[in-house]
């Protein structure tokens, strides 16, 4: 078991590293040749309409919340505005 822990920090053997690079290059070539086109077509035909539907439902569900947030912001701003004006007048006398 201690040999397993010692191997953890070592470098990979040259033959394993070169074999993994070869496999990665082969997989990348196969992906660009066969897989990428299929995924692009799937995204265009199936996933984009579903995403648009969910985005529109999210947009419609957040409109009331956004309206309430804007109303609360304006109410707070209107309530604080007289205090800000008084503090600015007070500060103008000293600066």
pLDDT in tens, 9-59: 567 788 888 899 999 999 999 999 999 999 999 888 998 889 999 999 999
Instruction: Please check the confidence at residue 5 and state whether its pLDDT lies above 60.
Output: no
Residues 92, 94: Cα–Cα separation, whole Å:
5
Q: 78 vs 44, 75, 84, CA distance in Å?
A: 48, 5, 10
- Residue 6 is predicted with a pLDDT of 61
Instruction: Please check the confidence at residue 1 and state whether its pLDDT lies above 70.
Output: no
Query: Of residues 93 and 81, which shows the higher confidence score?
Result: 81
The answer to the question of residue 57 being in a domain is yes
Total number of domains constituting the chain: 1
The answer to the question of residue 62 being in a domain is yes
pLDDT in tens, 65-92: 999 999 999 999 999 999 999 988 888 8
The answer to the question of residue 5 being in a domain is no
Q: What is the distance of C-alpha 12 from the center of its chain?
A: 34
Expressed as residue numbers, the domain containing 35 is 14-94
């Amino acid at each position: 078991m201690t040999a397993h822990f010692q191997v953890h920090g070592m470098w990979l053997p040259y033959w394993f590293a070169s074999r993994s690079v070869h496999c990665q290059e082969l997989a990348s070539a196969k992906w660009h040749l066969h897989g990428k086109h299929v995924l692009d077509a799937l995204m265009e035909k199936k996933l984009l309409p579903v995403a648009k539907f969910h985005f529109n439902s999210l947009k419609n569900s957040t409109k009331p919340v956004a309206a309430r947030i804007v109303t609360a912001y304006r109410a707070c701003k209107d309530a604080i505005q007289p205090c800000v004006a008084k503090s600015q007048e007070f500060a103008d006398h000293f600066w």
